[in-house]
Amino acid sequence: METALILSGWSPGPLPTVVQALEARGLACEEVPLPMPPCGCYWLLNPFVLVLGGLVVGVVLACQALDDPLYCVAVVVAALAAARLAVAGLVLFSIARGVANANALAARRRVVLVVGFSWGGGVAHWLLAEQKKEIPALLLAPTSVAMAAACLVRHPPRIPHPPSVAVVTALYDDFCPPRTAGLYEAFGCRSVDRLQDDHVLSRADSLSRILGTVAALLDDDGA
């Protein structure tokens, strides 16, 4: 059965409306389990969480053992630098696990569309960057630029088949910097919409625009 992979964020945003429209067209919708910081039991298995915890304990013990305040400052600065690297590893690990979960589902399904929102949109970006074949995709307010910054990467990876990817961003989005839309335009994506909305993309006109984009993606793909 033809399937759409759904990658959500901390909130579902416009995804329930999108899923309803996809199911009305006869597609099965599979939600990809995504370990995302800072919540979820799966996320707690992230080894970089242990590193961060160890750094906190190490700084406390070191400052208690050292009498010289300068040594304590040096320990704290070094720990902060190490903590920043651990945060980058934590986010990269979460992205990698999400992509692996999506690939595992895709291996058992005939995937005709990928839809990602917020954090899920960022993971969908990394998923598409690995694909050798073209898969239509819709990225809704993807936090890919912020995720790349958290990973200490200048830009998210390039998508090999941008003409099959449609992107919807919001003008009043606290989670996606303004250059997000420009990045996808530079990639050569099929369409990049800037809507008068916030990150959740819940306005009626935004949902209508999103559903129109979904229909265009599926019609062009023959789904």
* Whole-number average pLDDT of the chain: 86
What pLDDT is stored for residue 71 in this prediction?
Answer: 63
| pLDDT above 80: residue 118 | yes
Mean pLDDT on 153-174: 94
Residues 6+ apart with CB under 8 A from 151: 88, 91, 92, 95
HSE-CB at 25 with a 13 A cutoff on CA atoms is 21
pLDDT band at 130; cut points 50, 70, 90: very high
CATH number belonging to domain 2-35+109-221: 3.40.50.1820
| pLDDT above 60: residue 39 | no
Alpha helix (H) ranges present in the chain? 15-24, 47-65, 69-106, 119-130, 144-150, 179-187, 204-221
Return the amino acid letter for 188: G
Quick one: which of 54, 55, 147, 154 has its CA closest to 92? 147
The CA dihedral of 147, 149, 152, 154, to the nearest 10 degrees, is 110
Domain boundaries, the chain: 2-35+109-221
Q: Using one digit for the tens of pLDDT, what is the confidence trace for 89-116?
A: 888 888 999 999 999 999 999 999 999 9
Between these two residues, 36 and 145, which has the higher pLDDT value?
A: 145
